[in-house]
Amino acid sequence: MTDYAEEQRNELEAIESIYPDSFTVLSEEPTSFTITVTSDADENGELVEATLKFTYVEKYPDEPPLWEIHSQENLEDSDVEDILALLQQQAEENLGMVMIFTLVTAVQEKLNEIVDLMKNRQEEEKRQKEREAEEAEKVAFQGTVVTIENFLAWKATFEMEMSELRKKKQKEEEQAGKTKLTGKQLFETDHNLDTSDIQFLEDTGNNVEVDESLFQDIEDLDLDEDDPDFDPLEMGSDED
């Protein structure tokens, strides 16, 4: 008859000596404990971690223990599912033998694989960004290839913009025409023009100079104002 309790005690002692810093007993009835498994760090110091919780069943190791991921760090949901599936597979393959070390070792290798995949994804993302940057640089250098479609689109936009500019200019000209006043309108709207000449004379002290050379000497004119036939308008016409 198999002494399950003895086998479980012996395994616990061995596990504690192998993982002294990451092994923690949670309870004795039933026996439950955790082991924290950490991947190797990549070149950037990034790593992933999972704390596995195991609970012995009465007939362990003829029956598999219970397990769960107690906590984790930097693992995606898909990674967690993969680890649980891996534990199930390893437990089925090792029934009848103590298996905690085997299960923990399998998870350790899986975590290292995950780190490698993360590194590969990061490198691929970096290469993708570099390719996109190169493509963008080529497009900027070569310019946009003209096709019938984009030319027609540009033409429609250009014509619309020009039409808007013409409408704006026409509106500005109409507004300017409405605000431009005639001389009569200026005179009627600005009453200061009524007194502007008077103000000018007052400012100059009524001292208005007259160029006498513009007029003939009045003494040289033979005018007979007493003559009833005298007409200054006719005299002016005679001179013409």
pLDDT over 70 for what percent of the chain?
70
Q: What is the pLDDT of residue 215?
A: 52
pLDDT tens, 101-145? Answer: 999 999 999 999 999 888 888 788 888 888 888 887 777 766 667
User: Can you give the pTM of this predicted structure?
Assistant: 0.53
pLDDT tens, 15-33? Answer: 999 999 999 999 988 999 9
Q: Check if the beta carbon of residue 80 is closer than 8 Å to that of residue 72.
A: yes
User: Is pLDDT larger for residue 79 or for residue 150?
Assistant: 79
Question: What is the SS3 string spanning 125-156?
Answer: HHHHHHHHHHHHHHHHHHCCCCCHHHHHHHHH
Q: How is residue 86 written in tokens?
A: 């891996």
Q: How far apart are CA 171 and CA 20, in angstroms?
A: 88
DSSP state of 44: T
Q: What is the pLDDT of residue 175?
A: 81
Q: What is the pLDDT of residue 2?
A: 78
Does position 147 have pLDDT exceeding 60, yes or no? yes
Task: Give phi and psi for 182, each to the nearest 5.
Answer: -75, 170
Torsion of CA 67, 72, 76, 82, to 10 degrees: -20
Q: Which residues are CB-neighbours of 193 under 8 A, at least 6 positions away? A: 186, 187
Q: How far apart are CA 122 and CA 145, in angstroms?
A: 33
